[in-house]
A and B are shown apart, each in its own frame.
Chain A
């Protein structure tokens, strides 16, 4: 019973929402709006759960003096500082202390993390991007053409480079992307169907 009732709710909701999508009737629309409200309400409960889980995990690390426990202290201080500032001032308005921390600490940290990608890509290109066989050589040539075609100097070298880069993006790249997307779509649809039919039960912690 403990398992059957949630499964029945999932199946019933899945079937009703599928029917609703194809029925443009006021009752169907009202049902849809109601479902959206439910989604928002249920979704909100995940947030305090997430905060609680994070605090508990960091606190346990500090208590046990686990490796890197100092970072946990910083995490908790940062969390409560930002929470406190968020509640005591109109936090996201320009010029507030909250906003200054965001602008001058958080943004540069995040931007630095993302920009490290350029360093890793350069290193990886040097070490791993090899023309080992015909297929690898085609990928390598394609990458070089796209890299040149996507910068103004490529246009200066030859007006054909951007055109060739555009062709690579619009034809071979798109064909591959489309295949991936169709595969993903079919996979998602079949998984959804398996959940609705009660075949897929891993979301309830079952095999």
Chain B
């Protein structure tokens, strides 16, 4: 008698053909579960982040710094905590901060950033910080600042002429700044490197997403940038240096909190890679491809 029972698929086949929705479910759980538990692991600060912290720490009160918040909502989860940590540090040190954005979707984000953090430190717009807003064609704007801020930004975001802003009285171009710190990634970062750093030799540091981070290690080693904050991990490192300040303000450091999620998701991806490879080799041993 020839029974026609369907053969049970081998475990390797089942693993290799797993419905991708299960993988999505695991990722979702790995992203949600860490919020339910408080796991505090030490975040080690890397030299590339420390150099930015040390640079700002060494500045005298009143020194002007340009913060280019060139990120958009897509990367806000990574760039947002970086920008907040940097701005808090600058305000803590009583530096004069010029904030601008070259991302068309970043104007509102940078406005929210500047007003909310300035409020925490009782900083006055026009005296302690200036928000210039967004202008299109980043390459041209970066070049024009080398001549004078007033070429591309005759007025700030709130339509106050730059000549009427007390803080901008003696600030005209890159030569009047201690440094530029750019937050973003992609073509805009390259434009800052080639136009501001190389042409006008202004000290430059960058904060980019984790995906973009690896491509800037060459510029870090060559000295074209003096520091690099990469992804949420970089933001968490910066927050670690400012932990006492966050405690004083009663604010939860967002990036450090986010590192718990990254712990889980990274471990999950590693486990998935191992399981996927195990199934692949089992199948190979069976004679499959």
Contacts and interface: CB of A to CB of B under 8 A. Distances in A.
A106 B277 CA distance: 39
Contacts of A53: none
Contact of A111 (B44, B76, B115, B262): B76
A191 interface: no
Given A125-B269, A147-B270, A170-B217, A118 B140 contact: no
Contacts of B18: 126
Nearest to B43: A152
B269 A152 contact: no
Among A113, A131, A174, residue most surrounded by chain B Cβ atoms (within 10 Å): A174
B24 A111 contact: no
Contacts of B44: 152, 155, 162
Contact of A177 (B137, B214, B276): B214
B33 interface: no
Contacts, number: 152
B289 to A, nearest CB: 11
A27 interface: no
Given A107-B73, A150-B210, A151-B262, A123 B46 contact: no
A29 B262 CA distance: 49
Which of under 10, 10 to 19, 20 to 34, or 35 or more describes the interface residues of B? Answer: 35 or more
A125 B23 CA distance: 10
A151 B266 contact: yes
B217 A174 contact: yes
Contacts of B43: 152
Interface residues of A, number: 57
A122 interface: yes
Interface stretch (A36-44, A64-72, A195-203): A36-44
Contact of B151 (A36, A44, A108, A177): A36
A62 B110 CA distance: 36
7 contacts: A36-B147, A107-B109, A111-B74, A131-B277, A150-B233, A151-B263, A152-B259
Interface of B: 18, 20, 23-24, 26-28, 31, 41-44, 46, 72-77, 105, 107-109, 111-112, 115, 133, 136-137, 140, 143-144, 147, 151-152, 157-158, 210, 213-215, 217-218, 221, 231, 233, 259, 262-263, 265-270, 272-273, 275-277, 280
